[in-house]
A and B are shown apart, each in its own frame.
Chain A
Amino acid sequence: DSGVTQTPKHLITATGQRVTLRCSPRSGDLSVYWYQQSLDQGLQFLIHYYNGEERAKGNILERFSAQQFPDLHSELNLSSLELGDSALYFCASSAGLAGGSPQETQYFGPGTRLLVL
């Protein structure tokens, strides 16, 4: 167990809908990363938050947004869902002691499996 929790574990929804995925980082970790893992796209970095602020974006669609709250948990919002959004969504956290340095071990959560029908 990495100490990172994600809810829900599974989510089934329909095209056009909106969902929110939640991530609680390890206690004290300031950095949160979101990733999407699908069969055809592999593991894709979406976004990095550090202490409540967005720090870097990867291949995140405009239909997706995220935020990190004062208690450091993070939410990933996916809207106008399409079939191709079906994937496993991971969040990971790292200590962030060095201002969000990339060279800190990232601890992954168990993931949320999203199925869009």
Chain B
Amino acid sequence: GENVEQHPSTLSVQEGDSAVIKCTYSDSASNYFPWYKQELGKRPQLIIDIRSNVGEKKDQRIAVTLNKTAKHFSLHITETQPEDSAVYFCAAIKTMEYGNKLVFGAGTILRVKS
């Protein structure tokens, strides 16, 4: 079945440094790739997403890149701040005939040290 591998499982960076989280998916029919940020005890929140016909998307300090050939996509956070500390999940979504099937990565715990 569909599988999404996410690395690293934990990431510790110094404030101001960049953070990169990588995901690899198995189903080439996946066509939409959102990233979620989840703070402790809170709900996941969408931070950025990318469609399969786009190679890169940027929103201020956050960017996502997609390599469809290699079936991997990455989240890049620049100039990290302590409030970026959270768990980040990637997901790959495939549009089925009538609905959408989602598979999440296992998550990355990002810690930004000040």
Contact = CB atoms under 8 A, between A and B. Distances in A.
Interface of A: 2, 33, 42-45, 48, 50, 53-58, 90, 100-103, 105-106, 108-111
10 nearest interchain CB pairs? A55-B99, A56-B99, A102-B100, A108-B43, A45-B102, A102-B93, A43-B104, A48-B99, A55-B98, A42-B106
Contacts of A90: 43-44
Main secondary structure of the interface of B (DSSP, over half): strand
Contacts of B102: 33, 45, 58, 102
Contacts, number: 67
A78 B7 CA distance: 32
A108 B100 contact: no
A42 B107 CA distance: 7
Interface of B: 31-32, 34, 42-46, 49, 51, 89, 93-96, 98-107
A56 B32 contact: no
23 contacts: A2-B45, A42-B106, A45-B101, A48-B100, A48-B101, A50-B99, A53-B98, A55-B96, A55-B98, A56-B98, A58-B101, A58-B102, A90-B44, A100-B99, A102-B94, A102-B95, A105-B49, A106-B34, A106-B46, A108-B43, A108-B44, A109-B43, A110-B43
Given A90-B44, A103-B32, A42 B100 contact: no
Contact of A43 (B51, B96, B101, B107): B107
Contact of B32 (A2, A57, A58, A102): A102
A55 B46 CA distance: 22
B67 to A, nearest CB: 19
Main secondary structure of the interface of A (DSSP, over half): strand
A50 B98 CA distance: 9
A62 to B, nearest CB: 17
B59 to A, nearest CB: 13
Nearest to A105: B46
